[in-house]
Amino acid sequence: MKNAVSIKLIQCGKTFANGAQALQPIELEIHPGETVVLLGPSGCGKTTTLRLIAGLEFPDAGGQVLFGDEDVTALPIEKRGVGMVFQNYALFPNMTVGENIAYGLKIRKMPAAQRLEKIEALLEMVHMQGFSQRRIDQLSGGQKQRVALARALAVEPKVLLLDEPLTALDAKLRETLRADLNQLLRKLGITAIYVTHDQSEAMALGDRVVVMERGKIAQIGSPQDIYYRPANHFVADFIGTMNRITGTACDGLLHFAGGQLPCDTASVGKRTTLMFRPEDVEVVAGEMDDANMQGDILSTFFLGDRTRLLIDVGTEQAVVVETGRRASWQIGERISLRVPEHALLHFHDEAPA
Protein backbone atom coordinates (compact mmCIF):
# COMPACT_ATOMS: atom_id res chain seq x y z
CA MET A 1 0.00 0.00 0.00
CA LYS A 2 1.41 3.34 -1.05
CA ASN A 3 0.36 5.20 2.06
CA ALA A 4 1.20 2.58 4.65
CA VAL A 5 2.18 4.22 7.88
CA SER A 6 4.71 3.34 10.56
CA ILE A 7 3.73 3.20 14.22
CA LYS A 8 5.90 4.00 17.16
CA LEU A 9 5.16 3.50 20.83
CA ILE A 10 7.60 5.43 22.99
CA GLN A 11 7.68 4.68 26.71
CA CYS A 12 4.01 3.65 26.58
CA GLY A 13 2.82 2.34 29.92
CA LYS A 14 -0.71 1.94 31.22
CA THR A 15 -1.95 2.05 34.78
CA PHE A 16 -5.69 1.77 35.24
CA ALA A 17 -7.72 3.82 37.72
CA ASN A 18 -7.81 0.89 40.16
CA GLY A 19 -3.99 1.01 40.30
CA ALA A 20 -3.47 -2.07 38.10
CA GLN A 21 -0.39 -1.61 35.91
CA ALA A 22 -1.45 -3.45 32.77
CA LEU A 23 1.58 -2.32 30.82
CA GLN A 24 5.03 -1.24 31.89
CA PRO A 25 6.50 1.48 29.67
CA ILE A 26 7.28 -0.28 26.38
CA GLU A 27 9.04 0.71 23.18
CA LEU A 28 7.71 -0.69 19.92
CA GLU A 29 8.27 0.26 16.31
CA ILE A 30 6.10 -1.14 13.55
CA HIS A 31 7.21 -0.64 9.96
CA PRO A 32 4.89 0.60 7.19
CA GLY A 33 2.88 -2.26 5.71
CA GLU A 34 4.05 -4.77 8.28
CA THR A 35 1.82 -7.25 10.10
CA VAL A 36 2.85 -7.41 13.74
CA VAL A 37 1.28 -9.95 16.05
CA LEU A 38 1.03 -9.34 19.79
CA LEU A 39 1.21 -12.75 21.42
CA GLY A 40 1.11 -13.83 25.04
CA PRO A 41 -0.93 -15.48 27.77
CA SER A 42 -4.12 -13.99 29.14
CA GLY A 43 -3.58 -10.74 31.02
CA CYS A 44 -0.10 -9.99 29.63
CA GLY A 45 -1.20 -6.64 28.16
CA LYS A 46 -1.83 -7.44 24.47
CA THR A 47 -5.27 -5.87 24.27
CA THR A 48 -4.17 -2.85 26.29
CA THR A 49 -1.33 -2.28 23.80
CA LEU A 50 -3.74 -2.56 20.88
CA ARG A 51 -6.18 -0.16 22.54
CA LEU A 52 -3.38 2.37 23.08
CA ILE A 53 -2.64 2.23 19.35
CA ALA A 54 -6.36 2.51 18.54
CA GLY A 55 -6.97 5.52 20.77
CA LEU A 56 -9.40 3.60 22.97
CA GLU A 57 -6.97 4.00 25.88
CA PHE A 58 -4.33 6.63 26.51
CA PRO A 59 -0.84 5.97 27.89
CA ASP A 60 0.38 7.09 31.30
CA ALA A 61 2.11 10.46 31.39
CA GLY A 62 5.31 10.47 29.34
CA GLY A 63 4.10 7.89 26.83
CA GLN A 64 3.82 8.76 23.14
CA VAL A 65 2.12 7.16 20.15
CA LEU A 66 3.27 8.18 16.67
CA PHE A 67 1.69 7.33 13.30
CA GLY A 68 4.48 8.18 10.87
CA ASP A 69 5.69 11.58 12.03
CA GLU A 70 2.34 12.52 13.51
CA ASP A 71 1.97 12.49 17.29
CA VAL A 72 -1.48 10.91 17.82
CA THR A 73 -1.09 10.37 21.58
CA ALA A 74 -4.02 12.61 22.52
CA LEU A 75 -6.26 11.79 19.52
CA PRO A 76 -9.40 9.69 20.07
CA ILE A 77 -10.09 6.67 17.86
CA GLU A 78 -12.23 8.49 15.29
CA LYS A 79 -9.36 10.87 14.49
CA ARG A 80 -6.67 8.22 14.06
CA GLY A 81 -7.76 6.54 10.84
CA VAL A 82 -7.79 3.01 12.22
CA GLY A 83 -10.05 0.08 11.31
CA MET A 84 -10.82 -2.47 13.99
CA VAL A 85 -11.97 -6.07 13.99
CA PHE A 86 -13.02 -7.68 17.27
CA GLN A 87 -13.49 -11.24 18.48
CA ASN A 88 -17.25 -10.76 18.87
CA TYR A 89 -17.72 -9.19 15.37
CA ALA A 90 -19.44 -6.04 16.78
CA LEU A 91 -21.70 -5.78 13.71
CA PHE A 92 -25.06 -4.01 13.72
CA PRO A 93 -27.48 -6.96 13.94
CA ASN A 94 -30.50 -5.10 12.54
CA MET A 95 -28.72 -4.00 9.37
CA THR A 96 -27.88 -5.99 6.25
CA VAL A 97 -24.35 -6.97 5.32
CA GLY A 98 -24.19 -4.10 2.82
CA GLU A 99 -25.49 -1.55 5.32
CA ASN A 100 -22.92 -2.68 7.86
CA ILE A 101 -20.09 -2.31 5.39
CA ALA A 102 -21.32 1.04 4.16
CA TYR A 103 -21.90 2.50 7.62
CA GLY A 104 -18.63 4.45 7.78
CA LEU A 105 -18.93 5.48 4.12
CA LYS A 106 -22.37 6.98 4.72
CA ILE A 107 -21.03 9.00 7.63
CA ARG A 108 -18.32 10.24 5.29
CA LYS A 109 -21.08 11.18 2.83
CA MET A 110 -19.94 8.99 -0.03
CA PRO A 111 -22.61 9.07 -2.80
CA ALA A 112 -24.92 6.02 -2.92
CA ALA A 113 -23.77 4.72 -6.33
CA GLN A 114 -20.14 4.84 -5.28
CA ARG A 115 -21.04 3.14 -1.99
CA LEU A 116 -22.67 0.23 -3.81
CA GLU A 117 -19.64 -0.22 -5.99
CA LYS A 118 -17.38 -0.17 -2.96
CA ILE A 119 -19.53 -2.70 -1.08
CA GLU A 120 -19.31 -5.10 -4.02
CA ALA A 121 -15.54 -4.71 -4.26
CA LEU A 122 -15.12 -5.30 -0.54
CA LEU A 123 -17.42 -8.33 -0.53
CA GLU A 124 -15.38 -9.79 -3.36
CA MET A 125 -12.19 -9.12 -1.44
CA VAL A 126 -13.43 -11.14 1.55
CA HIS A 127 -15.00 -13.85 -0.69
CA MET A 128 -18.61 -12.89 0.15
CA GLN A 129 -19.96 -11.88 -3.27
CA GLY A 130 -23.75 -11.75 -3.37
CA PHE A 131 -24.26 -11.37 0.38
CA SER A 132 -25.01 -7.65 0.42
CA GLN A 133 -28.73 -8.03 1.22
CA ARG A 134 -28.34 -10.76 3.84
CA ARG A 135 -29.19 -10.03 7.45
CA ILE A 136 -26.37 -10.41 9.96
CA ASP A 137 -28.26 -13.07 11.95
CA GLN A 138 -28.38 -15.22 8.80
CA LEU A 139 -24.59 -15.52 8.67
CA SER A 140 -22.20 -18.06 10.15
CA GLY A 141 -19.47 -16.94 12.52
CA GLY A 142 -16.84 -17.05 9.79
CA GLN A 143 -19.03 -15.01 7.42
CA LYS A 144 -19.69 -12.44 10.15
CA GLN A 145 -15.97 -12.04 10.65
CA ARG A 146 -15.46 -11.56 6.90
CA VAL A 147 -18.11 -8.82 6.95
CA ALA A 148 -16.47 -7.22 10.00
CA LEU A 149 -13.19 -7.20 8.10
CA ALA A 150 -14.81 -5.64 5.03
CA ARG A 151 -16.42 -2.99 7.21
CA ALA A 152 -13.10 -2.18 8.89
CA LEU A 153 -11.40 -1.84 5.48
CA ALA A 154 -14.23 0.17 3.87
CA VAL A 155 -13.02 3.51 5.17
CA GLU A 156 -9.47 2.80 3.94
CA PRO A 157 -7.85 3.04 7.33
CA LYS A 158 -4.15 3.79 7.74
CA VAL A 159 -3.90 0.98 10.22
CA LEU A 160 -5.86 -2.25 10.69
CA LEU A 161 -6.21 -3.52 14.25
CA LEU A 162 -7.45 -7.05 14.91
CA ASP A 163 -8.22 -8.29 18.41
CA GLU A 164 -8.45 -12.11 18.49
CA PRO A 165 -10.66 -12.08 15.37
CA LEU A 166 -10.61 -15.85 14.87
CA THR A 167 -10.87 -17.04 18.46
CA ALA A 168 -14.64 -17.60 18.41
CA LEU A 169 -14.48 -19.83 15.31
CA ASP A 170 -13.99 -23.59 15.14
CA ALA A 171 -10.56 -24.99 14.30
CA LYS A 172 -11.10 -25.78 10.61
CA LEU A 173 -12.71 -22.44 9.83
CA ARG A 174 -10.02 -20.65 11.77
CA GLU A 175 -7.42 -22.19 9.53
CA THR A 176 -9.25 -21.19 6.33
CA LEU A 177 -9.78 -17.63 7.50
CA ARG A 178 -6.21 -17.40 8.70
CA ALA A 179 -4.97 -18.30 5.21
CA ASP A 180 -7.33 -15.79 3.56
CA LEU A 181 -6.33 -13.08 6.01
CA ASN A 182 -2.67 -13.79 5.42
CA GLN A 183 -3.11 -13.32 1.67
CA LEU A 184 -5.25 -10.23 2.09
CA LEU A 185 -2.85 -8.48 4.47
CA ARG A 186 0.04 -9.12 2.09
CA LYS A 187 -1.97 -7.96 -0.91
CA LEU A 188 -3.19 -4.78 0.78
CA GLY A 189 0.18 -3.97 2.32
CA ILE A 190 -1.62 -2.20 5.15
CA THR A 191 0.08 -1.77 8.52
CA ALA A 192 -1.70 -4.30 10.73
CA ILE A 193 -1.53 -5.26 14.38
CA TYR A 194 -3.07 -8.54 15.38
CA VAL A 195 -3.65 -9.77 18.94
CA THR A 196 -3.80 -13.45 19.74
CA HIS A 197 -2.88 -15.93 22.46
CA ASP A 198 -2.58 -18.69 19.83
CA GLN A 199 1.05 -19.19 18.92
CA SER A 200 0.46 -21.03 15.65
CA GLU A 201 -1.77 -18.17 14.49
CA ALA A 202 0.95 -15.70 15.45
CA MET A 203 3.58 -17.64 13.52
CA ALA A 204 1.35 -17.99 10.46
CA LEU A 205 0.33 -14.34 10.24
CA GLY A 206 3.08 -12.17 11.63
CA ASP A 207 5.94 -10.64 9.70
CA ARG A 208 7.14 -10.11 13.24
CA VAL A 209 5.82 -11.37 16.53
CA VAL A 210 5.92 -9.47 19.81
CA VAL A 211 5.85 -11.93 22.70
CA MET A 212 4.50 -10.31 25.85
CA GLU A 213 4.73 -11.40 29.45
CA ARG A 214 3.17 -9.65 32.42
CA GLY A 215 2.98 -6.17 30.91
CA LYS A 216 6.39 -6.34 29.28
CA ILE A 217 7.82 -7.29 25.90
CA ALA A 218 9.72 -10.56 26.26
CA GLN A 219 10.95 -10.71 22.64
CA ILE A 220 10.35 -9.13 19.25
CA GLY A 221 11.37 -11.05 16.17
CA SER A 222 10.38 -12.94 13.06
CA PRO A 223 8.42 -16.17 13.65
CA GLN A 224 11.66 -18.05 12.93
CA ASP A 225 13.56 -15.94 15.49
CA ILE A 226 11.17 -16.59 18.30
CA TYR A 227 10.86 -20.28 17.43
CA TYR A 228 14.53 -21.10 16.88
CA ARG A 229 16.19 -18.38 18.95
CA PRO A 230 13.94 -17.69 21.94
CA ALA A 231 15.42 -14.92 24.10
CA ASN A 232 14.59 -16.52 27.43
CA HIS A 233 12.85 -19.39 29.20
CA PHE A 234 9.45 -17.78 28.98
CA VAL A 235 9.49 -17.43 25.19
CA ALA A 236 11.00 -20.90 24.77
CA ASP A 237 8.20 -22.45 26.80
CA PHE A 238 5.39 -20.40 25.36
CA ILE A 239 6.19 -21.07 21.70
CA GLY A 240 5.68 -24.70 20.68
CA THR A 241 7.08 -27.54 22.75
CA MET A 242 10.59 -27.26 24.10
CA ASN A 243 12.60 -29.89 25.94
CA ARG A 244 14.81 -28.68 28.73
CA ILE A 245 17.56 -30.43 30.66
CA THR A 246 19.29 -28.57 33.48
CA GLY A 247 22.56 -29.42 35.21
CA THR A 248 26.12 -28.31 35.83
CA ALA A 249 28.39 -28.83 32.87
CA CYS A 250 31.87 -30.31 33.12
CA ASP A 251 34.31 -31.54 30.42
CA GLY A 252 32.16 -29.87 27.79
CA LEU A 253 29.26 -32.15 28.64
CA LEU A 254 26.12 -31.92 30.69
CA HIS A 255 25.55 -35.28 32.33
CA PHE A 256 22.24 -36.69 33.51
CA ALA A 257 20.94 -40.15 34.39
CA GLY A 258 20.03 -41.19 30.85
CA GLY A 259 23.02 -39.73 29.00
CA GLN A 260 24.85 -36.52 28.20
CA LEU A 261 24.68 -33.57 25.86
CA PRO A 262 27.51 -31.37 24.59
CA CYS A 263 27.83 -27.85 26.05
CA ASP A 264 29.45 -24.70 24.74
CA THR A 265 32.59 -23.41 26.47
CA ALA A 266 30.63 -20.71 28.26
CA SER A 267 28.81 -23.45 30.18
CA VAL A 268 31.80 -24.93 31.99
CA GLY A 269 31.19 -25.12 35.74
CA LYS A 270 27.91 -23.21 35.42
CA ARG A 271 24.37 -24.24 35.98
CA THR A 272 23.17 -24.61 32.42
CA THR A 273 19.87 -25.39 30.79
CA LEU A 274 19.94 -27.02 27.40
CA MET A 275 16.80 -26.82 25.30
CA PHE A 276 15.82 -28.53 22.08
CA ARG A 277 12.72 -29.06 19.95
CA PRO A 278 10.99 -32.47 19.72
CA GLU A 279 11.25 -32.53 15.92
CA ASP A 280 15.04 -32.08 16.02
CA VAL A 281 15.67 -35.32 17.89
CA GLU A 282 16.74 -38.41 15.99
CA VAL A 283 14.95 -41.46 17.41
CA VAL A 284 16.07 -45.09 17.12
CA ALA A 285 14.59 -48.16 18.78
CA GLY A 286 17.04 -50.00 21.04
CA GLU A 287 20.73 -49.09 20.98
CA MET A 288 22.32 -46.49 18.74
CA ASP A 289 26.00 -45.66 18.26
CA ASP A 290 26.87 -42.19 19.55
CA ALA A 291 23.43 -41.64 21.06
CA ASN A 292 23.14 -38.72 23.45
CA MET A 293 20.67 -40.44 25.69
CA GLN A 294 18.60 -43.52 26.25
CA GLY A 295 15.27 -43.92 27.95
CA ASP A 296 11.96 -45.74 28.13
CA ILE A 297 8.80 -44.68 26.36
CA LEU A 298 6.25 -43.38 28.88
CA SER A 299 3.46 -42.59 26.44
CA THR A 300 2.76 -42.35 22.73
CA PHE A 301 0.47 -39.94 20.89
CA PHE A 302 -0.38 -40.85 17.32
CA LEU A 303 -1.00 -37.57 15.47
CA GLY A 304 -1.54 -38.95 11.97
CA ASP A 305 1.40 -37.47 10.09
CA ARG A 306 3.74 -38.09 13.03
CA THR A 307 3.90 -39.72 16.42
CA ARG A 308 4.81 -37.89 19.59
CA LEU A 309 6.64 -39.86 22.27
CA LEU A 310 7.22 -39.01 25.91
CA ILE A 311 10.47 -40.54 27.11
CA ASP A 312 11.92 -40.97 30.58
CA VAL A 313 15.65 -40.25 30.36
CA GLY A 314 16.09 -39.82 34.11
CA THR A 315 15.63 -36.05 34.09
CA GLU A 316 13.07 -34.08 36.06
CA GLN A 317 10.90 -33.58 32.99
CA ALA A 318 10.35 -36.34 30.44
CA VAL A 319 11.75 -35.63 26.95
CA VAL A 320 9.26 -35.15 24.11
CA VAL A 321 10.23 -36.28 20.62
CA GLU A 322 8.42 -36.52 17.33
CA THR A 323 8.90 -39.12 14.72
CA GLY A 324 7.23 -39.76 11.42
CA ARG A 325 8.97 -42.98 10.57
CA ARG A 326 6.96 -45.49 12.53
CA ALA A 327 3.60 -45.39 14.22
CA SER A 328 3.85 -48.48 16.42
CA TRP A 329 6.02 -47.55 19.33
CA GLN A 330 5.37 -49.50 22.53
CA ILE A 331 5.07 -48.06 25.99
CA GLY A 332 8.05 -49.25 28.05
CA GLU A 333 10.18 -49.78 24.93
CA ARG A 334 13.86 -48.83 25.25
CA ILE A 335 14.83 -46.09 22.87
CA SER A 336 17.95 -44.10 21.90
CA LEU A 337 18.03 -40.40 21.08
CA ARG A 338 20.49 -38.16 19.31
CA VAL A 339 20.27 -34.38 19.32
CA PRO A 340 22.39 -32.58 16.71
CA GLU A 341 24.59 -29.92 18.29
CA HIS A 342 23.11 -27.15 16.14
CA ALA A 343 19.67 -27.87 17.61
CA LEU A 344 20.79 -27.20 21.20
CA LEU A 345 20.04 -23.87 22.84
CA HIS A 346 22.12 -22.89 25.86
CA PHE A 347 20.79 -20.83 28.75
CA HIS A 348 23.12 -19.89 31.58
CA ASP A 349 22.53 -18.56 35.08
CA GLU A 350 18.81 -18.20 34.64
CA ALA A 351 16.66 -19.89 37.24
CA PRO A 352 14.31 -22.28 35.46
CA ALA A 353 10.84 -20.77 35.34
Closest separation in Å from C-beta 161 to ligand ATP: 13
Strand pairing class (334-338; 282-285): antiparallel
CA atoms of 341 and 302, how far apart (whole Å): 27
Cβ distance 160 to 153 under 8 Å? yes
End-to-end Cα spacing for the chain: 42
Nearer to ligand ATP, 7 or 102 (CB): 7
Write down the least CB distance from residue 195 to ligand ATP, Å: 6
88 binds ligand ATP (CB under 6 A): no
Euclidean distance between CA atoms 51 and 225, whole angstroms: 26
23 or 274, CB closer to ligand ATP? 23
Q: x-or-dash pattern for ligand ATP, window 114-143, by CB under 6 A?
A: ------------------------------
Q: Total number of residues binding ligand ATP (CB under 6 A)?
A: 13
Provide, rounded to whole angstroms, the least separation between the CB of residue 15 and ligand ATP: 9
**Please, which of residues 40-79 interact with ligand ATP by CB under 6 A?**
40, 42-48
By CB under 6 A, residue 265 contacts ligand ATP? no
Question: From the list 197, 233, 277, 338, which residue makes contact with ligand ATP (rule: CB under 6 A)?
Answer: 197
User: CA-based angle 143:149:154, to the nearest 5?
Assistant: 125
DSSP conformation class of 280: G
> Residue 19 interacts with ligand ATP (CB under 6 A)?
no
The HSE-up count of residue 108 (CA atoms within 13 Å, CB side) is 15
Q: What counts of helices (H) and strands (E) characterise the chain?
A: 8, 20
Q: Binding marks (x or -) toward ligand ATP, 213..252, rule CB under 6 A?
A: ----------------------------------------
User: Residue 165 interacts with ligand ATP (CB under 6 A)?
Assistant: no
**What's the min distance (Å) between Cβ of 59 and ligand ATP?**
13
Which DSSP letter does residue 10 get? E
Q: Smallest distance, Å, CB 49 to ligand ATP?
A: 7
Q: For residue 195, give every residue at least 6 positions away whose Cβ sits within 8 Å of its Cβ, in sequence order, or none.
A: 37, 38, 46, 47, 49, 50, 162, 163, 164
**Footprint of ligand ATP (CB under 6 A):** 16, 18, 20, 22, 40, 42-48, 197
